[in-house]
């Protein structure tokens, strides 16, 4: 069952964006890039590492490097205890 993005964020997932640099199969001296984005769980990143394993098994272009970033979109808010409220006019 596919979960919605909101459900994933409430469970602690954040948006992971990875840029994969790979060599072209026919022209090994040429680097190309591929952008991958998915909700993933830090610090283990199971979906990112599963995608990298898939790439290495199924895609002909060998990986050169991977650069990624992770951002939680829903975080704990700041709460302040308000004791008094002043009204003017």
**Mean pLDDT, contiguous 10-residue spans, the chain (89 residues):** 81 94 94 96 95 96 95 69 70
Residue 52 forms part of a structural domain: yes
Q: What's the confidence (pLDDT) of residue 89?
A: 64
Nearest to 11 by CA among 35, 38, 39, 37: 39
What is the number of domains present in the chain?
A: 1
Residue 82 forms part of a structural domain: no
Residue 42 forms part of a structural domain: yes
Residue 59 forms part of a structural domain: yes
Range(s) of the domain holding residue 9: 5-71
């Amino acid at each position: 069952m596919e979960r919605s993005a909101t459900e994933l964020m409430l469970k602690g997932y954040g948006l992971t964006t990875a840029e994969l640099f790979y060599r072209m199969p026919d022209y090994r001296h040429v680097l190309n890039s591929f952008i991958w984005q998915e909700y993933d769980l830090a610090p283990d990143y199971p979906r990112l590492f599963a995608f990298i394993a898939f790439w290495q098994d199924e895609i002909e272009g060998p990986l050169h490097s991977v650069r990624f970033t992770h951002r939680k979109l829903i975080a704990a808010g700041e709460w302040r205890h308000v004791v008094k409220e002043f009204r003017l006019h």
